[in-house]
Amino acid sequence: MRYTLFLSFIFALLIVVIRPISAARDENVPIFETATIDNDSPGYVKNGVADWHSEPVGYRNRTDWTYTNRGPVPNPNTVYWLPSLAGSGNYEIEVYIPEGFATTTNARYFVLHQGRRTLRVINQSVNNGRWVPIGTFYLEDTSRDGVYLDDVTYENVIAMMAFDAIRFIPAGHVQAAVVPTLPAPRAEISLIPNSGQIGSLVTAFGSGFVPGDRVRLLFGVAPDDAFMQSGSAIAGPNGTVTLIAGVPNISNPLYVILQSPNKTTSAQFIVTR
């Protein structure tokens, strides 16, 4: 009887001692959580004043975008995504590319980690409406590690670059799938006439746009190189729109571009002299 009571006492004592030790160990294990930095998050730091635009598309219906620079400029438009992490560790980084306003093929994302910068290039034009992984990195919880992107792309043409959400997922954790907003149907454009002199009128007939979307008419020197807006209209119930504009003073080739928050389509116009 005494022996049984003695063993029970020893067992209870071990439980009392082991539980605090286990709890102390658990307190030292960081609780990792996914950190998502969106356009309105405290860790989203936007700089620059040239050609910033915001549109109701992308992750949580908000995207910033700007036109790209073909080479280095004194004051580029830049964004930092600086997450507040639950602890230092390995994180999988994914970038969200919105459904529109992302035509660059050479977006140069720099991952900032442990005092280093690692380049990751994304073709935004072929990744509309999805999360794109750019790698797994050890990030320190210092509010200095994160991702940087500016508008310099070294492309031969000027394109549109989108700045949307980035998420930091603890390595090895399963992230719930995010179903992006479906893009608009394929847009088409036809011009009447498709050639003419500077100052003459050209009528652009567009189809395949989302009913109710505002569609802008722009001119450019490449299909995705819009430089001048010349009017806009709301797409009708059948997704069509008609816009008329005067031909600007620009050498060939000249492109007439119809652009909505979801789609961009263009057709070449021959300027006659």
The pLDDT assigned to 1 comes to: 54
Parts of the chain belonging to CATH 2.60.40.230 = 188-271
**Residue 93: band (very low, low, confident or very high) from pLDDT cuts 50, 70, 90:** very high
Lowest mean pLDDT among 43-47, 58-62, 66-70, 229-233: 229-233
161-181 mean pLDDT:
75
pLDDT in tens, 232-260: 999 988 889 999 999 888 766 788 988 88
Lowest mean pLDDT among 134-138, 158-162, 260-264: 260-264
Parts of the chain belonging to CATH 2.60.120.260 = 35-170
The pLDDT assigned to 264 comes to: 83
- For the chain, give the DSSP string: -HHHHHHHHHHHHHHHHHHHHHHHHHHTS-----EEE-TTSTTEEEE--SS-EEES-SGGG-EEEEE-BSS--SS--EEEE----SSSEEEEEEEEE-SSS---S-EEEEEEETTEEEEEEE-GGG-TTEEEEEEEEEE-TTTT-EEEEESB---SS--EEEE--EEEEETTPPPPP--PPPPPPPPEEEEESSEE-TT-EEEEEEESPPTT-EEEEEEESSTT-EEEEEEEEE--TTS-EEEEEEPPS-PSPEEEEEE-SS-EEEEEEEEP-
Fold of 188-271: Immunoglobulin-like (2.60.40)
Mean residue pLDDT across the chain:
82
Does the pLDDT of residue 145 top 80, yes or no? Answer: yes
**Residue 22: band (very low, low, confident or very high) from pLDDT cuts 50, 70, 90:** very low
CATH 2.60.120.260 fits 35-170, yes or no: yes
Angstrom distance (rounded) from CA 206 to CA 185: 12
Distance of CA 152 to the CA centre of its chain: 15
Tokens of 74: 């004194």
The pLDDT assigned to 211 comes to: 87
pLDDT in tens, 98-114: 998 999 999 999 999 99
35-53 mean pLDDT:
92
- C-alpha radius of gyration, the chain, whole number: 27
**Residue 26: band (very low, low, confident or very high) from pLDDT cuts 50, 70, 90:** very low
Among 22, 141, 17, 128, CA closest to 65: 128
